[in-house]
Amino acid sequence: AQTVTQSQPEMSVQEAETVTLSCTYDTSESDYYLFWYKQPPSRQMILVIRQEAYKQQNATENRFSVNFQKAAKSFSLKISDSQLGDAAMYFCAYRSALGANNLFFGTGTRLTVIP
Amino acid sequence: EPEVTQTPSHQVTQMGQEVILRCVPISNHLYFYWYRQILGQKVEFLVSFYNNEISEKSEIFDDQFSVERPDGSNFTLKIRSTKLEDSAMYFCASSKNTEAFFGQGTRLTVV
């Protein structure tokens, strides 16, 4: 099974500053999808951003962007101009593009935003 | 905006009892999933459902678990005889293509 590793259990960032959350994964597949989900205190899982492995261009959604390094199997999330509402658990997830379409999640990074 | 809805938001049950967790996926989605998150741990895949049958399941999804789509809208997870270690948040999700959309979860507490 694919494994997803988030090596930072906790991170903090000053409001308006930039923070980068790390994620690495292990797979033998060449085609897959990667996601970042946000889980605020309400516990709902909210999709932040996704990346298709066949695309070289890094995905961007407003203040959220990724640095996708396929050879290194690395998929980090950059949050620019951090806001108080960004405080949450962030989960990196992997999904195969073939066959099984369930998600494999990392253990999460708790992000604190300091006013 | 369409969303996945789950009921109840919180369920307390006695060990050994059966529980049914309910989900209404987004209406034009074809794939349905259940995930579990034990407190403080990562989200784990339980089962996926497509075309009225299970398409994938994890080793967690043993004979105590079952899923059903009893009508055109609901998708249920049944735990036949709950154990203390079944206490967790249970998330339903649905997808049409690539992206899975999650419900707000049901917190199951087994006492």
Q: Work out the minimum CA distance from B33 to partner chain A, whole angstroms.
A: 8
Q: Work out the minimum CA distance from B103 to partner chain A, whole angstroms.
A: 7
How many residues does this entry show for chain A?
A: 115
Q: What is the pLDDT of residues B4-21, one digit of tens each?
A: 999 999 999 999 999 999
What average pLDDT does the segment B29-43 reach? 93
- Nearest-CB residue to A101 (from B31, B102, B104): B31
A56 versus B75: which is more confidently predicted?
Answer: B75
Please give, one letter per residue, the 3-state secondary structure of chain A.
Answer: CCEEECCCCEEEEECCCCEEECCEEECCCCCEEEEEEEECCCCCCEEEEEEECCCCCCCEECCEEEEEECCCCEEEEEECCCCHHHCEEEEEEEEECCCCCCEEECCCEEEEEEC
Q: Which residue of A has its CA nearest to B58?
A: A102
Q: Do B35 and A91 touch (CB under 8 A)?
A: no
Work out the number of other CB atoms within 10 angstroms of the CB of residue A7: 11
- Token pair, residue A102, equals 């369930």
Sign (positive/negative) of CA torsion B108, A8, A63, B99? negative
Distance CA B27, CA B94 (A): 9
Say if residue A100's pLDDT is above 80.
Answer: no
Say if residue B72's pLDDT is above 80.
Answer: no
Distance CA B46, CA B93 (A): 11
Using an 8 Å CB-CB cutoff, list residues of chain B that contact chain A. 31, 33, 35, 41-45, 48, 55-56, 58, 89, 91, 93, 95, 98-105, 107
Query: Which residue, among A4, A95, A101, A110, would best test binding to B if mutated, counting the most B CBs under 10 Å from its CB?
Result: A101
The whole-chain average pLDDT of chain B stands at: 94
Residue A1: which pLDDT band, with cuts at 50, 70 and 90?
low
Q: What is the pLDDT of residues A2-39, one digit of tens each?
A: 899 999 999 999 999 999 999 999 999 999 999 999 99
